[in-house]
Each structure stands twice: as C-alpha cells, then as structure tokens.
A and B are shown apart, each in its own frame.
Chain A
Amino acid sequence: MEPEPSAESSAEPSAVAENAGVGRRKLLAYLVAAPTLTVAVRVGADAWAPEAAAATPQATAEGAAPAALPDLLPDLGDVLILAAAPTSHLLTLELDEDGTARFGLPRAEVGQGLTTAVAMLIADELDLPLDKVRVRLDDARPELLFNQLTGSSNSIRALHRPVRAAAAAARARLVATAARQWGVDAADLTTRDGAVHASDGRTLGYGALAKSAAAPRTTEAPDVTLKAAGDQQVVGRPTNRIDARAIVTGRKEYALDLDVPGAKPAMVRRPPTVNGTVAQVHNAADVRAMPGVLDVVEIPTGVAVVAETFGQALAGKEALRVDWGAGTVDELSHDDIKAELRKAAPDFLPPLLVQHIDAEYDFAPVSHAPLETNSAVADVRDDRATVWTAAQSPIAARAAVAKAIGLPASRVDFHVVQAGGSFGRRLFFDAAVEAAQVSKAAGRPVRLMWSRVDDMRHGRMRPPTHHKLRVTHTRDKPLSLQHRVASVETDTGHGIGDALTAGLTELPAGNETFAQTMFRLSMRSPYDLGATAQTLTELPLKLHTGSWRSVYSGTARAAEEMFLDEVAEKLGADPVEFRRARLKNEAQRKVLDTAAADWGRELPEGVAQGVGFHEEYKSRVAFLVELDARDPKAPRVTRAVIAVDVGRAVNPRGVEAQMLGGLTDGIATALRAGLHFDKGLPLEGSYSQFHYARQKDSPQDVTVHVVESDAEPGGVGELGVPAAVAAIGNAYARATGTRARSFPILFDVDFEPFPR
C-alpha cells in the first residue's frame, strides 16, 4: 500500500490511521525542527482501550478474595502500557544524510530480541533496508515517567504502534519532499529500498532527502495510513538478530567491556548473611598493600577493593578480615520458609455435599543467574556523575544513584547498556548504586563487578511459593477451582509500583496492595472450570526477591496446569481432551491441538509425554514434552513440540528463540535448579551447585510452531515458562507414576558450599 500524504497539514489534529484489522486508532505524529528529518510520535489514549473480548468476568467461589479488580482490565501489561501513554510522543526517529534511520529505544535489550523487532518495524514501515536502521538504548530519561520500564512482556505491545507511526510519518514526509522537488504529485511516487521512486525512473535516496525533508519548525505531521498486514515485507518474516555478527566476533560490548578512561576494577566483600552490615574492617592497610590493589573503601553493603585487575580485586576482597553486623533473616533456613509458606496459604474448609480434589505444590527459590553478573561502571566527580549499566528501570535507578551519592538526579547521566541476560534481575540497580558509592569513596572511576558466588547468594531470587488447590466436582465435571498461593513477598521497589499507581488512577483499583493488584492482573484461568478464585498471601520476609520471567505465573500457573492433570485423571479423562473441552476459544484450542498433534504416541516404558498450556500478555502457548525417566534420578527431556500464538509475530524467529528459552528455564526449574536458603544465605554459589540446565539436559528434538495471526501483537518473553514447567512435571508423573509436589524435583545438596 502506498502512503497518502496530504500536501498541507490540516487544522484538525493530525493522525495516522491504521488499517490492520483492529480498527482505526489515533496516532498523532510531529515533524520536529532539526537539521535532518526527525519525527516524533504520540499516541492517543484510545489506542490502549482494552479489547472487550478479553474482559471476561471471573466468578468467585467460597473463600474468594474481594473481586475488586478491574475485570475490564485484561492484564498487568495493559496497566503498564496505560501508564506509558502520556509520554509516548517523546519517541523520536531521525534520518541521517547517509540514509540511515536512528531510533532511541526507551527499553532494555537483555537478549529478548527487542532491538531487532523494533528495527524491523521501522524498516518495514519506512521501506528502508533493515541494515540501515540503528536502534540505540536510551539513557535514563526522567521525562518519560513510566515509559522506560522493561517488564511484563509489554515492550512490543506498548511500542509497536508508535514506532510504526513514526516511520510512516517519516516516509510520507520523504515522499512529499521528493514530490515537491520533482514537481509531481506525491500519489504517483513509490518508496522501496531506502529511496523514493517516480514512475519515469527518477529516484532520490532517503539520505539525499534527509536535509530538505527536515521541518523548519515543529508541526503536526499530515495524516498517513499504516501498512496493512498483507503489505508488510519485513514484519512477520523470520529474521536474524541485528547484533548477531557483533556477538559471534566478540565485539558486542556489555557494561564491563566499555572503555571508560581510568575506570579500575572493583569488587565488594559481602556479609555472611543477606543484608548483613559492616561492623569493623581489621586489615584494610594490609590489603591495600597487596599487588595491584589501589584502594579499600567501605560502602553500606560491604567493603570494596579497587585494583588494577579483577583478579587482584578478588584476591584482595578474599583477604579482608571483617566483623559483620546481623542481617535481616539470619536464623532462617529452607525448611522454615517452606513450613511458614505452607501455614500462610489458608486451608480449605471441608465442603458440604460436594466431592472435591485437593493438591499442594511448592517451588524453591530460583536465582536469576544471568551469565553477566551484576555489574556497572561509574565515574563520580564532585558535581556530577556518569553511570553505565544494564537497566530495565533506568529512571528509578538514576534517582537511587543520585540519592546514594548526594547529588541531584539532574547531575547524573545514566547510560543503559545491553545486558548479558536478565530474566527480571536488571529491574534492580544495586550494582549501579554500589559502583557510584565506590567511585565517590575512592575518588576515581570504577568498573564494579559482583563475583558469581555473591551474585547467587546476595543477588535476587524468585520468591519461594506454596500452592493449595481445590476443585469441587460432580461425577465427571468440575464445579469450581480455588487456588491459594502463599509467596515470600516479591520486591517491587524498582518503579513498577509507581507505574501501576499511575496506570490505575484511571481505573477502579479498589484498596488492594500492589502485590494483590499485580497478582490479579497477571493471573487468569484460560479454562471454564466453574467458579474460579485465585488468591495470594504474602509472607513479609526480607529476602532479596524479584520477579523472575513473570511475577507469579511461572509458579502459580504451572501449579494449576499440573493440578489439572490430576483432576483429569481422577475424573477419568485424558489430560489433553480435558483441557480442550474447557478452553474458552478457538485460538487457545489451536495451539493445544498443534502442540499435541501426536499426543499419545507409543513410547518405551519409563518415557512419557506431558502437556502444559498458558495464556497471558494477549498470547497463548502449549508445550508438549517427552521425558525419559527410565533412570528417575537422571530424567531428561528428549523432545519438545511448542505451539505459540502471539498475535502478529513481528519476528517469528525471535518468538521461537523465546520459546526455546522458556523450555530451557522449564527444564532447569522443574528438574534441578533451585536455591537452599540456610541460616540467612543461599548455599548455592555457582553453576556447579545451582544446576541450571546445560546442553546435556536439553532435548535433541525441538519444534516450535508460531501460529500465523493478524491480531494485535501480544507479549512473548515470559510466556513460555509456566507451560514448560507444567508439561515437564506432568510428563514426570506419567513416566514414573509419582507426582512431584516440590520443585525442583531433584534438589539434594550435592556439593560442598563455598565459605561465607
């Protein structure tokens, strides 16, 4: 489809109309005064109106929590998108004279492939080759308020429309400029490969037009129409990552790979228990005299050693003799937490005259354990500071850094660097704060890195949970589902709470806590199981928790999916048929049918299939796995078939990658990866002890079906985990005849812990 740029802007608010089968939405765009063509976009609030179809009221059952929330509000991502709405217009696309387009992305790239997907959206709408699009991660931009938080799988959901609108407005402007130069009608011109073409064969490259297309003053852009799905050439095509070559040649730069002049390695000696404090350092002078050591400084979280190399900083920190003050949970151990959680999840009362099935599950804490440990570079001077780090919430991070070093936030430049993995970890900015504190105390720029042992023990973890589930039923039919979740409190002190408040001011939030609100926004049953009630009880233990590739679904929905298999079995039904009969719509059934196409195929004794289904972020997925448990002490997933419907998949190859990641996370957390909390500190200190899956645990046969759809793009990153965990748990039960209730299933302390 060709754009239909009008020659002059009208007096009416300008808009970009979209024709993608989901109705017209107002997308205001501006031409910004700049040396070369620069377009900024804003999006009207109606773009976020929840889809009516998703607003399925949930019935309540015996013991249900007050049904305060917003059934008209589909999920957590919607609230964050709504919070982001008023500032979306600050997203800008610039065109350079060399014909490249540059876009500042107010989100983190942590491996989820967002920069590639955004570049594809721009390339497609602008008719520019993908390799001419540069996407950089924005510095902390406080004026963006809530539109710079990466979470809840919402980035593409929040940004795809404004990004496309900016690109479409830029293309229209280029066409109008060429039409004026050639003295022809814009409607007779076409665009492709980064150039405007006239029917007589004349062409003008975008680079050559960039200056003349620049707006002399900022004005609203004329109305344009976004491409219809059928006209998209790049979006929807499996595409490799734009940074793949940099990665495979070792040129990709993470925070500690940056060359910041004079920045010296720094590591921190940490207390023997979580949140412990420094009481006294005995041998700072001796450590200062060690080879390569430049300084020893105290910060609130420990004692830092600055050195010429990280090897020397590590040796120095290990040589420190420090007396420590108590932490926040010094007496607490794994079994106590399990018992307290079990007690915290309210028991069910015996139902009257109704048959019921009850089950319990629990999940151990899990380290985020991104391969790049917590790290940041900081250069703090008397009157200003500069920080470089991977951050999902840079605005809150910048404010925290400023506060920690006693500068106004306006004096802190906060640069966001691509992360070597996150899974929720980079919502927290403790490394940035520590680096700034060490830089200030040592009076020099530093590159601060956590050791792996510290990263696992003092870092963040998915909170442990306990689940009590009950289905009431007739002879063959469920009447109600209740699910009572008890969880150690999830720390959300990274700005998501503020974003929720902002998003919810326009919505009937009631008086729920943030946690209750997030729980209700993220938990939905995709099935008709009669009255359904899911409740959360939080245990306020001061561990370092954090959301871990979803807030609650990774455990809570996994528990429900495993419980469903139990219910099906008790009611004499096949697990796939049982699900199929209770899913609510065709899109759901399609992914289940696709994944389970050869459900029931013959397998050797001790090898079994399992399925799991999950729907969230306007997306849905089904996993079928085959698990070889002939040696029940060494179960291995041997095959996986995954079917996923994320609406319009911007990059199907990236969606596939995220499903693979979800599968591997499922294998790890269902079978072997967890943390044992022991007297105030996790025992696990490295990958030799925290058994994240490796190649030998990974299946040799994986198929991912990305279902074609023209629906609004849904979220992807966190989607796979609950279904993967459940499919594996269900396969394990069918293969061994024993239903695992505690995860990970194989969880012995099979190692000698590192010294504290």
Chain B
Amino acid sequence: MPAQTFTVNGEQVTVDAPDDLPLLWVLRDLLGIRGPKYGCGIDVCKACTSHLDGEAVNPCAVPVSEAAGREVTTIEGLADGEKLHPVQEAWLEQDVAQCGYCQPGQIMAAVALLKRTKNPTDEEIDAIANVCRCGTYFRIREAIKSAADRMS
C-alpha cells in the first residue's frame, strides 16, 4: 500500500493508504482527527470542510493522493493553542451552534471566505452551501460579519 505523506495542522504525517481513499477517512479513521464530520460523502453537505493549502475543500471528495506534500488544516488546527481564531470567537459570541455537528465545517468555510475577502457581502455569505440541519443560518451570517469586524 502506498505511503501518503502530507502535513496536517502543522505536523508532517505519513500513512499507508490507497491513493483513492478519500482524505476524510484517512483523517478520521487512520489519524484519529475527528473534527471533520461525514454528512454525505459526495461534497454536497460540506460538513467535513477543511483547508488544503489554505483553501476550503471537502475531504470526503478529495483522494488522499491529492494531499501529497501539501498542507491540510482541519478545525483542530485553527486555534493557536488555547487562543481561538477570531471566527471561533465570533461563533462563541453569537452562540451559533445547536447540535454542533456541522459547525466545524461552517467555521472552516467562513475562515476561507474571510481569507478571500475581508468584508463579505450578503451574497457572498449566501454562497456558503454548508448544510446546517438545525437551521442556525442567521447566527452564522451574524458571526461571519462579527468576525470580519474583529479581523479588520
């Protein structure tokens, strides 16, 4: 079985896994990194949203071989030790989460958006397609705006 080497949350890892095994299962089942959640497996619910070289991707639809030599960031790698990322702080301030299952993905999608644009418009926020089955969308929107303020 091929050895897959890439960086996760700042640490280089090597795992034996077939090239086509989705990155999500390498993270969750082989590396025990369980912040990214399964919700659909076909890149439509976006619950597993994480970053590959700083851009939002959905590891359920990324073969592990595509991560080779690259930098994967999951929700676990977002905070700086105990110091939360401003988007996480904004999520706490707005008390966004209900069941919480989609929120790691929502946060990672918001961080990626704020990387692309400092002051996202409502239309840009609308374009985040991550499903929240508890229906926390309004608080997510408010939290993204609050995070944009914190980061400016």
Contacts and interface: CB of A to CB of B under 8 A. Distances in A.
Contacts of A693: 135, 137
B101 interface: yes
Interface in A239-263: 240-241, 243-254, 256-257, 259
Interface string A250-282: 111110110100000100000000000000000
Contacts of A692: 131, 133
Contacts of B149: none
Contacts of A246: 100
Contacts of A668: 135
Contact of A686 (B24, B34, B45, B95): B45
Interface string B118-152: 00001001111111111111111100000000000
B99 A111 contact: yes
B97 to A, nearest CB: 4
Interface residues of A, number: 67
A320 interface: no
Contacts of A111: 97-100, 134
A311 B15 CA distance: 15
A657 B131 CA distance: 16
B45 A687 contact: yes
| A249, A310, A373, A693: most-surrounded residue (chain B CB, <10 A) | A249
A694 B45 CA distance: 10
Contacts of B10: none
A372 B41 contact: no
Interface residues of B, number: 61
A688 B43 CA distance: 9
Interface in B58-102: 74-76, 78-79, 84, 88, 91-92, 95, 97-102
B101 A254 contact: yes
B98 A653 contact: no
B88 A660 contact: no
Interface in A603-630: none
Interface in B11-59: 17-18, 21-22, 24-26, 28-30, 32, 34-42, 44-45, 47
B98 A657 contact: yes
Given A250-B75, A309-B26, A687 B40 contact: yes
Consensus secondary structure, chain B interface: loop
A253 B33 CA distance: 11
Contact of A311 (B22, B35, B107, B132): B22
Given A250-B76, A371-B45, A420-B37, A110 B29 contact: no
A112 B130 CA distance: 20
B104 to A, nearest CB: 5
A698 interface: yes
Contact of A244 (B28, B91, B126, B138): B91
Contacts of A574: none
Contacts of B76: 249-251
A308 interface: yes
A76 B1 CA distance: 58
A311 B48 CA distance: 14
Contacts of A698: 135, 137-138, 141
Nearest to B100: A247
A653 B47 CA distance: 25
Contacts of A686: 40, 42, 44-45
A423 B134 CA distance: 9
A453 to B, nearest CB: 8
A435 to B, nearest CB: 16
Contacts of B84: 245, 248-249
Interface string A656-672: 01001111110110000
B51 to A, nearest CB: 13
Contacts of A292: 18
Contact of A694 (B26, B28, B30, B137): B137
A695 B126 contact: yes
18 contacts: A110-B99, A243-B97, A244-B95, A247-B97, A248-B88, A248-B103, A249-B35, A249-B79, A311-B24, A371-B131, A371-B132, A423-B133, A452-B39, A653-B95, A692-B131, A693-B135, A695-B127, A696-B126
Given A308-B29, A314-B41, A660-B135, 9 more contacts: A240-B95, A247-B97, A256-B38, A265-B25, A311-B22, A421-B134, A688-B44, A693-B137, A700-B138
Of all A-B residue pairs in the complex, the 7 with the closest CB atoms, nearest first, are A664-B135, A250-B35, A111-B99, A420-B101, A250-B75, A698-B137, A247-B100
